[in-house]
Amino acid sequence: MVRDAEKKKTLLHEWLVPFLPTRAVRILDSGSILEKASVQQRLSTLSGNCPNTFSIYVLFSETTEGLVPVYIGKADQPLVRWGQHLDGWLAGSGVYGGWRRALLDDQGKARTALTLLVVPGTDITRPPIPGFPTTVGAVEYQLVGLAGDAYPGRLLNHEGVGR
């Protein structure tokens, strides 16, 4: 187990959980087939709470442990970016082959329910790690580091894991 994994998990959850009620949507139910139109329809429910502004996004797998972060990123237009992620994920090309293997079964059905959280930079008022900067880029860096240590082997990010 990673040193201070529980402390890192606590920091991660203390930062993420307050945003969940208003900034998250389940994009795929457990056992559902990944379909772009269905996911985009669910994402559209976030549009009022998801301005086209520099934002952090976190994809969670809903497990018996609760919500486990599996991918963390940032984008100027997060819903547009998720359309791109969906295209890659459906094709299973490049890094998205790893997404398919980790998150979908052999029939293309979700292994667990998946929830997407989008936090606009304007909503970021404190860092996940006390004393660190609160810019979108800095917060993404902190979240990836915390999630990689709190949930070893679960994060699909390639950059920044194991810092």
Q: Which residues pair with 73 in a beta bridge?
A: 57
Q: Which whole number is the average pLDDT over 66-72?
A: 97
Whether 163 is in a domain gets the answer: no
Whether 119 is in a domain gets the answer: yes
Give the distance, in angstroms, between the CA of residue 162 and the centroid of all CA atoms in the same chain.
17
Number of domains into which the chain is organized = 1
Whether 28 is in a domain gets the answer: yes
Digit-coded pLDDT (tens) for 30-59: 999 999 999 999 998 886 666 678 999 999
Structure tokens, 42 = 């669910």
Output the pTM of the full model: 0.93
Range of the domain at 61: 5-150
Local confidence band at 1 (pLDDT 50, 70, 90 cut-offs)? low
Digit-coded pLDDT (tens) for 78-109: 989 999 999 999 999 899 999 999 999 999 99
- The predicted pLDDT at position 53 comes to 87
